[in-house]
Amino acid sequence: MSFFSEENRSLAREIIGRYPKRRSAMIPLLHVAQAQAGWVTEEAMVEIAELVDTTPAEVLGTCSFYEMFKREPVGKYLVNICATMSCALAGAAELMEHAEERLGVRAGGTTPDGLFTLASAECQAACTEAPCLQVNYRYRYRVDADGFDQLVDDLAGGALDDEIPPHGVTARVRQHIPADRAVGAVPPEAVNEPPVWMAAPAGNGAGSA
Amino acid sequence: MASYTIPHAPGFVANDAPRIVTERFDHPDSYTLERYLATGGYEGLRAALERTPEEVHGEVRSATLLGRGGAGFPAGVKWGFCPPGVWPRYLVVNGDESEPGTYKDRLLMELDPHQLIEGCLIACYAVGLSQCFLYIRGEMAVAQERVAQALNEAYEAGWVGRNICGTDFSVDIVLHWGAGAYVVGEETALIESLEGNRGMPRLKPPYFPAAIGLYGQPTIVNNVETLANLPWILRHGAEAFTAIGTPTSPGTRMVAVSGHVQRPGVYEITNGTTTFRDLIYGEDYCGGMHPGRELKAFVPGGGSAPWFTPAQLELPFEASEVGPQGSMLGSGAVMVMDDTTDIPAAALTLTKFYAHESCGKCVPCREGATWLERVLRRVCDGTGTPRDLDVLFEVGASICPGDFPHAAVPERGLEPKPFPYQMTTICFVGPSAFAPVHSAMTLFPEEFEARVAPNAHLDTGPSHGPASGTGPSDGSAPNSISEVAIRV
């Protein structure tokens, strides 16, 4: 039995291969798992443990530390309303009140149709555009009550399907290191020499490109 | 390219000050390799590769490039802490921007990712770092996409990877991304996270991961904005860099100003000379407060920084002047409060942040931050007692023994207490939870005393937010204090 799809399994191998130690891939792999299922299942953690040579308990330990990893299903759209100072100064509390009324759930709750999970979040690095929120980590700036209602309508009606993927998917453009360009990751134990350009000036050909 | 339209991140406001890291921000395609190459891109790297690594390191050292992540430590000096003869060495890029009020690294990653990549390459070349891990905050999906796209382009075009520019300089840059934890911005916690662990700061010493870092190897951890300065420095020289700003704080820095100002924005300011008054009131900057409102207080350097009042407006962005006056420049984040702000509630939004983000490793922070939040919350609710105000200071003293830094309060004859503080915790999250409480209670004690007076709750209602309303919707001044209960 395996959790990861064929495609994600090969993606996982590609990601692991970039690190000098497999365990470093743990958080990226948890993201891949969450993108596949919408949340992080126990099966996923067991499989990640195998992939990075550790125990499921260790994976759970890491997973449970980080806010973004959900260990139970959440709505298709996770609406994170910032509550930290700059947004609070611009009326974030009123926005949350409105959101709760509109969606009919309290912060932390999920709508019965499974479409929206509403949450209070910490500073999102958009402080000049307060109050702000993120839907599945895609920003909306200077959101007022009308703007929020429009956003909910658009999400429910599918108008934002192109821009905002379902919960779990974060970046949709992934790094790909071409094999003929990669230097390759080496375990630190295997290296005790300075890199070649430190040993001798990079003069051989430098600047002639 | 992504097949859908990514909204351009707003916030940056251009002005006449010199521009080093934002010089491409006006171009709608600022993030593409094509635009980058057309505007001097990768020329700093070419210039670096024509010199020895030691010379490049020397150039950066003489530029006195201060770290832009919060501590303000000179990057060239930090690089020099790698113990000789210990290999391999790594570069870890701190793109975990999450200090309250801070909004600059995300712009640099979204709008000019190649500049950051070039900065990484220059650092790796100069210090002999054989692999680079570019750690981007988990919640920044678009920044991750833009950097991934830029890395893919750069690998394809031969700027990253094996034998860069046909030389024997070879380095991989690996895009890594987090999953939501403020404390991971602390450099040793960042390394723990990158090793696949819970993101808890490591015991110190060693104080710098340059000695023992990723996988126990020498590791340089640099902030995004710090690295983004390197291409310009190598292209134009350290002398041109130090010609901007002051000798002890040269160059420019990005500052986000948010809160109750006319034009909140992210500004690239001249380091060392620009004052808080210029920034908050200048026509080229925030344009002052909303009509009819006055400045009450401001946070000068991110949520962790002790607060200032109008008495400190003339201070420049110069650590050696701000520190003795009781605060720090931190991560370039100014949060402005006008005279309608409910000060205890504003402090609560920050203390709650740090209590939530405490990793739990150190007891004074785990317990102390939580109690600061709880006690402050009941004070804000109007259900606290005068004794609670003493409790807040007592709890704070268990995190930071001795006098906590604060600004001068001329009307009460209070001299400033210089930065920094003593601390009983491994990292700065604990003291940061106390900073807003201490500042608010020291600068505005009357607001707290009024809240804990008998029957205060009958006057104030169940609770108030710090908001003076959502801003002038009709072009007039913001509303008076909101009637809506806040739950922060």
Give tens-digit pLDDT for A6-27.
999 999 999 999 999 999 999 9
Per-residue pLDDT band at B484 (split at 50, 70, 90): very low
Q: What is the per-residue pLDDT for B4?
A: 56
Contact B161 A177 (CB under 8 A): yes
Contact B52 A201 (CB under 8 A): yes
Contact B467 A209 (CB under 8 A): no
Q: Which of A91, A122, A202 sits opposite B469 (nearest CB)?
A: A91
Q: Which of A61, A162, A192 sits opposite B4 (nearest CB)?
A: A162
Summarised one tens digit per residue, pLDDT across range B73-95 is 999 999 999 999 999 999 999 99
Mean of the per-residue pLDDT values of chain A:
95
Does A207 have pLDDT greater than 70? no
Contact A198 B144 (CB under 8 A): no
Provide the number of CB pairs (under 8 Å) joining chain A to chain B.
Answer: 318
How far, in Å, CA of B350 to CA of A91, rounded?
A: 15
Contact B169 A176 (CB under 8 A): no
Exposed/middle/buried for residue A174 (C-beta within 10 Å: 0-12, 13-18, 19+): middle
Coil/strand/helix, residue B335: strand
For residue B477, tell me if it sits in a domain. Answer: no
Q: Are residues B68 and B210 in the same domain?
A: yes
Q: Are residues B288 and B216 in the same domain?
A: no
How far, in Å, CA of B355 to CA of B149, rounded?
A: 36
- Taking contacts as CB-CB distances below 8 angstroms, the residues of chain A near B351 are none
Does B483 have pLDDT greater than 50? no
Q: Which of A66, A138, A193 sits opposite B87 (nearest CB)?
A: A193
For residue B475, tell me if it sits in a domain. Answer: no
Nearest-neighbour CA in chain B from A25: distance (Å): 7
Per-residue pLDDT band at B10 (split at 50, 70, 90): very high
How far, in Å, CA of B384 to CA of B44, rounded?
A: 59
Summarised one tens digit per residue, pLDDT across range A150-162 is 999 999 999 999 9
Nearest-neighbour CA in chain A from B38: distance (Å): 17
H or E segment and range at residue B15? none
Domain boundary among B338, B360, B387: B338
Domain boundary among B187, B216, B242: B242
For residue B1, tell me if it sits in a domain. Answer: no
Q: Are residues B352 and B391 in the same domain?
A: yes
- Taking contacts as CB-CB distances below 8 angstroms, the residues of chain A near B486 are 88, 93
For residue B311, tell me if it sits in a domain. Answer: yes
| pTM of the full structure | 0.94
| Number of Cα atoms under 13 Å in the Cβ half of residue B30 | 19
Q: Which of B196, B257, B486 sits opposite A52 (nearest CB)?
A: B196
Summarised one tens digit per residue, pLDDT across range A31-71 is 999 999 999 999 999 999 999 999 999 999 999 999 999 99
Q: Are residues B136 and B264 in the same domain?
A: no
Summarised one tens digit per residue, pLDDT across range A111-137 is 999 999 999 999 999 999 999 999 999
Mean of the per-residue pLDDT values of chain B:
93
Contact B166 A67 (CB under 8 A): no
For residue B191, tell me if it sits in a domain. Answer: yes
- Taking contacts as CB-CB distances below 8 angstroms, the residues of chain A near B155 are 176-178, 181
> Among B109, B149, B136, B118, which residue's Cα sits nearest to residue B9?
B109
CA A189 and chain centroid, separation: 31
Name the residue in chain B with its Cα closest to that of A25: B196
Q: Which of A80, A89, A128 sits opposite B466 (nearest CB)?
A: A89
Summarised one tens digit per residue, pLDDT across range B140-181 is 999 999 999 999 999 999 999 999 999 999 999 999 999 999
A77-157 folds as: Glutaredoxin (3.40.30)
- Taking contacts as CB-CB distances below 8 angstroms, the residues of chain A near B473 are 144
Does B3 have pLDDT greater than 60? no
Q: Are residues B81 and B160 in the same domain?
A: yes
The sheet with strand A133-135 has its strands ordered as A116-121, A77-82, A133-135, A138-140
Nearest-neighbour CA in chain B from A113: distance (Å): 25
Q: Are residues B333 and B348 in the same domain?
A: no
Does A178 have pLDDT greater than 50? yes
Domain boundary among B242, B264, B279: B242
Does B198 have pLDDT greater than 90? yes
**CATH number of the domain within which B180 lies:** 3.40.50.11540
For residue B444, tell me if it sits in a domain. Answer: yes
How far, in Å, CA of B350 to CA of B341, rounded?
A: 14
Cβ atoms of B357 and B314 closer than 8 Å: no
Q: Which of B88, B100, B356 sits opposite A85 (nearest CB)?
A: B100
Q: Are residues B399 and B352 in the same domain?
A: yes
**In chain A, where the domains are located:** 6-63, 77-157
Task: Work out the average pLDDT over B285-304.
Answer: 98
**CATH number of the domain within which B347 lies:** 1.20.1440.230
Q: What is the per-residue pLDDT for A201?
A: 53
Does A208 have pLDDT greater than 50? no
For residue B294, tell me if it sits in a domain. Answer: yes
For residue B223, tell me if it sits in a domain. Answer: yes
- Taking contacts as CB-CB distances below 8 angstroms, the residues of chain A near B11 are 126, 128-129
> b vs e for A103-124, b when ≥16 Cβ sit within 10 Å of the residue's Cβ?
bebebeebbeeeebbbbbbbbb
**CATH number of the domain within which B302 lies:** 3.10.20.600
- Structural domain harbouring B180: 33-242
* ipTM (interface pTM): 0.95
Contact A128 B470 (CB under 8 A): no
Contact A127 B486 (CB under 8 A): no
Task: Work out the average pLDDT over B416-434.
Answer: 97
Would you tell me which CATH number, out of the four given (3.40.50.10490, 1.10.10.1590, 3.40.1110.10, 3.30.1540.20), belongs to the domain A6-63?
1.10.10.1590
- Taking contacts as CB-CB distances below 8 angstroms, the residues of chain B near A131 are 470
Q: Are residues B83 and B164 in the same domain?
A: yes
Per-residue pLDDT band at B454 (split at 50, 70, 90): confident
Q: Are residues B114 and B225 in the same domain?
A: yes
Q: What is the per-residue pLDDT for B196?
A: 98
Contact A65 B171 (CB under 8 A): no
Q: Are residues B453 and B304 in the same domain?
A: no
Contact A138 B142 (CB under 8 A): yes
Q: Which of A66, A175, A197 sits opposite B167 (nearest CB)?
A: A197
What's the number of domains chain B is made of? Answer: 3
Q: What is the per-residue pLDDT for B455?
A: 73
Coil/strand/helix, residue B252: strand
Q: How many of the other CB atoms lie within 10 Å of CB of B314?
A: 11
Q: What is the per-residue pLDDT for B212?
A: 96
Q: What is the per-residue pLDDT for B466?
A: 75
Q: Are residues B385 and B281 in the same domain?
A: no
Contact B172 A138 (CB under 8 A): no
